[in-house]
Amino acid sequence: MPKKDADVIVIGGGIIGTSIAYQLSKRGKKALIIEREDLCTGTSGSCDAYITPHTKKPGFHLGLCLESMKLYKELEEELGDDLEYWQKGGFQPCEDELSFQLVSENAKDLMAGGLEVKMMNIDEFRSYEPNMSPNLVGALHCPSACQINPFKVVMSYARNLKKLGSQIMTNTEVTDLLWEDGKVVGVQTDKGEFYADYVVNATGCWGAQIARMAGLEAPIEPRRGQIIVTEPTSTVIKTTMQSGMYLVIKFHPEKITDERTKRLGSGFCIEQTGDGTILIGFTREFMGYDKSTTLEGIEYIISEGCKYLPGLRDMHVIRTFSGFRPFVADGLPLIGPVDGIPGFIMAAGHEGDGVALSPITGKLVAEMIVEGQPSYNIDAFSPNRFVKQA
Amino acid sequence: MAETNKDVLICRCQEVTLAMIEEAIAEGAFSVDGIKKRTRAGMGLCQGKSCERLVEKIIAEKTGQAPADILPATSRPPVRPIKMGTIEGERNA
Ligand SMILES: Cc1cc2nc3c(=O)[nH]c(=O)nc-3n(C[C@H](O)[C@H](O)[C@H](O)COP(=O)(O)OP(=O)(O)OC[C@H]3O[C@@H](n4cnc5c(N)ncnc54)[C@H](O)[C@@H]3O)c2cc1C
Ligand code: FES
């Protein structure tokens, strides 16, 4: 192998890639991030930023989310930047008896998993969030839910990893992997060849393309989410909210009868940012890499939104955008080394949890590389589940 | 722009100064979207109508790119702020 350019090459400068590179740098490794466009231009630059443990599947998923939340709290101090970590609490409002029932059942499992949540009837819910519609049935409350600013997180990781001697190349596209004796030893880019001991694939919804270069068929697909943004207003809601229908869609898709909901896979969610703008989402559609927003999608989000928060009718939309969740068929990301492909590590496919799981993913991947083993068992995420047995 | 006051507001809606934009460029921003992501310039009520040209000009000066080569911001509907009740009304009419 020609001269090494870094200990580890990380492909992708989103919230996952920058987290991994930062955690590696902290452990004394030199990382080189190679990003096709600019930092935070992929999904991490067009998403919401909820960290909502109550929307995670009780058990393993919930456990990881709680670990990640702990890390976020420490990170602000460690990185020395304001990441706009904001523990404002979250609700899961329910519009009908079915969703209220499912959310109540799930609440029991969440509590058994160690999370503090509480079911509230509509009057109690509205004592917290008086602007929500009185026609709803009730809501689940999770006091520890929070939000973060993903741009700030990515830029702060970037600043800190550079201070620790690692590097970032933007505007550089990986076009192939480089091999020596059956081991991945680097990447071919449009700016030349780069060599390292390990290559990490942190390209999110583009993860399948890079995996294919390594000979792995990873079932990662882009799942579009459209979001609308309002003008800044005074405080209308104080917490983050994701409707209980989201749970019905996620875990009981067969119970959805409305055609539009089936097609757009929507579920109301809303947050108000520090500067007063309100983000309302979102759809869940398979449209390839088409990043446009559609009239149907926007209309649907607005009509859902007005149902939950009638005051939206008098507010103005100033912008819409969409992003691609890195969707994986079995709902779990691919994290870790791959049997038969030494030197290559996957860290992609976080679907709608990448912001929440960024700190823990970075830590575990860095531990795998530096210590040979992660401190938290994530065998369930192993990409080996997609390796075809010869 | 060498003698300009660094505190001059380039994006009025989001109160982003020239100094903040120059810092973002120093950190690696090379497009209007890159500036937007790092500083919020262009994300205000006017959605960049007043500041985008200025931001483009600063990027051109600082990075040596030709103004025509600088990636413009991605803009998505609506073009003007629109009342949500109006959109909802049309749908249910
Ligand atoms: C509408 C929406 C709402 C969401 N809300 C939430 C939420 O509330 N909470 C939450 O936790 N998560 C949320 N998510 C999910 C979260 O945004 C993603 O899981 C996360 O951003 C994925 O990060 P990433 O770093 O893996 O991918 P990305 O940010 O997409 O980064 C991958 C990078 O790889 C680069 N790349 C691709 N191919 C190449 C190549 N060949 N060479 C070099 N570089 C390449 C891309 O340019 C990109 O920058 C949401 C997503 C969407 C779409
Ligand atoms: S002046 Fe920058 S968004 Fe309005």
- Show contacts of A117-126: CB within 8 Å, 24+ apart: A117/A54, A117/A141, A117/A142, A125/A91, A125/A93
Q: How large is the average pLDDT for residues A316-320?
A: 93
Least confident window among A1-10, A261-270, A304-313, A315-324: A261-270
- pLDDT of A172 higher than 90: yes
pLDDT at B1 over 70: no
pLDDT tens digits, A26-35: 999 999 999 9
Domain membership flag for residue B85: yes
Residue B16, in any domain of the structure: yes
pLDDT, position A389: 65
So what's the pLDDT on residue A60?
Answer: 86
The answer to whether the Cβ–Cβ distance between A293 and B76 falls below 8 Å is yes
Q: Say whether residue B28 is in contact with chain A using an 8 A CB cutoff.
A: yes
pLDDT band at residue B93 under the 50/70/90 scheme: very low
Question: Percent of chain A beyond pLDDT 70?
Answer: 99
pLDDT of residue B45: 86
pLDDT band at B71 (very low <50, low <70, confident <90, very high): confident
Within-domain flag for B2:
no
Residue A250 scores a pLDDT above 80: no
For residue A334, how far is its CA from the centre of ligand 1 (angstroms)?
14
Residue A219: the pLDDT is 96
Query: Least CB-CB distance to A38: which of B30, B82, B87?
Result: B30
> Is B3 touching A (CB cutoff 8 A)?
no
Residue entry with tokens 């030197």: A343
What is the span of the domain harbouring residue B14? 9-92
Q: State whether the Cα torsion A181-A187-A188-A192 is positive or negative.
A: negative
User: Does A273 contact B at CB distance below 8 Å?
Assistant: no
Question: What's the average model confidence in pLDDT over A189-209?
Answer: 98
Confidence band of B90 (pLDDT split at 50, 70, 90): low
Closest atom of ligand 2 relative to the B43 alpha carbon = 3
Using the predicted structure, report yes or no on whether residue A255 has a pLDDT greater than 90: no
Query: Average pLDDT, stretch A333-358?
Result: 97
Q: Which tokens go with A154?
A: 């990515």
Asked if A318 lies within 8 A of B47 by C-beta distance, the reply is yes
Rounded distance between C-alpha atoms, residue A212 and residue A287, angstroms: 21
**pLDDT value at A199 more than 60:** yes
CB within 8 Å: A41 and B37? yes
Query: Mean pLDDT highest for which of A237-246, A353-362, B59-68, B70-79?
Result: A353-362
Question: Is B84 part of a structural domain of the chain?
Answer: yes
Which amino acid, residue A272?
A: Q
Q: What's the rounded mean pLDDT across residues A274-278?
A: 88
Residues A151 and A12 sit within 8 Å (Cβ to Cβ): no
- Cα nearest neighbour of B26 on chain A: A159
Q: Is residue B79 included in any domain, yes or no?
A: yes
Task: Report pLDDT digits (tens) over A72-94.
Answer: 999 999 999 999 999 999 999 99
pLDDT of residue A107: 95
Q: How far is the CA of B37 from the centre of ligand 1 (A)?
A: 14
Taking 60 as the threshold, does the pLDDT of residue A332 lie above it?
A: yes
Report the pLDDT value the prediction gives residue A196, as an integer from 0 to 100: 98
Tally the C-alpha atoms within 13 A of residue B50's C-alpha that lie toward its C-beta.
13
Interface check A315 vs B, CB under 8 A: yes
In chain B, whose CA is at the least distance from the CA of A295? B77
CB contact under 8 A, B76 and A316: no
Task: Look at residue A247 in the predicted model and tell me its pLDDT.
Answer: 72
What does the angle CA A260 – CA A270 – CA A62 come to, to the nearest 5 degrees?
95
Task: List chain B residues with CB under 8 Å of A33.
Answer: none
Q: For a pocket test of ligand 1, which of A173, A220, A300, A355 has the largest count of ligand atoms closer than 8 A to its C-beta?
A: A355
Residues of chain B with C-beta less than 8 angstroms from the C-beta of A170: 28, 30
Q: Is A246 exposed, middle or buried (0-12, 13-18, 19+ CB in 10 A)?
A: buried
- Residue B52: which CATH number? 1.10.10.1100
How confident is the model over A101-120, as pLDDT tens digits? Answer: 999 999 999 999 899 999 99
Same fold: A8-46+151-219+331-389 with A90-143+221-327: no
Q: Whose CA is nearest to atom 27 of ligand 1?
A: A204
User: Which class is domain A8-46+151-219+331-389?
Assistant: alpha beta
User: What is the domain partition of chain A in residue ranges?
Assistant: 8-46+151-219+331-389, 90-143+221-327
Q: Tell me, what's the pLDDT at B68?
A: 82
Task: Decide if pLDDT at A50 tops 70.
Answer: yes
Using the atom order of ligand 2, give the atom closest to the CA of residue B16.
2
ipTM over 0.90: no
Chain A residue with the nearest C-alpha to that of B74? A321
pLDDT at A35: 98
What's the structural domain count of chain B? 1
Strands in chain B per DSSP E: 9-11, 16-17, 82-83
Average pLDDT of the segment spanning A57-73: 91
State the CATH class of domain A90-143+221-327: alpha beta
Ligand 1 atom at minimum distance from A172 CA: 43
| Listed residue (A235, A237, A264, A239) closest to A249, CA to CA | A264
| Share of chain B residues as helix, strand and coil, in percent rounded to the nearest 5 | 45, 10, 50
State pLDDT tens for residues B12-66: 999 999 999 999 999 999 999 999 999 999 988 888 999 999 999 999 999 998 8
Q: Is B17 in the pocket of ligand 2 (CB under 6 A)?
A: no
Please tell me the predicted confidence (pLDDT) of residue A262.
80
Out of A57-61, A148-152, A257-261, the most confident range is A148-152
Residue A129 pLDDT > 80: yes
- pLDDT (mean) for A327-353: 96
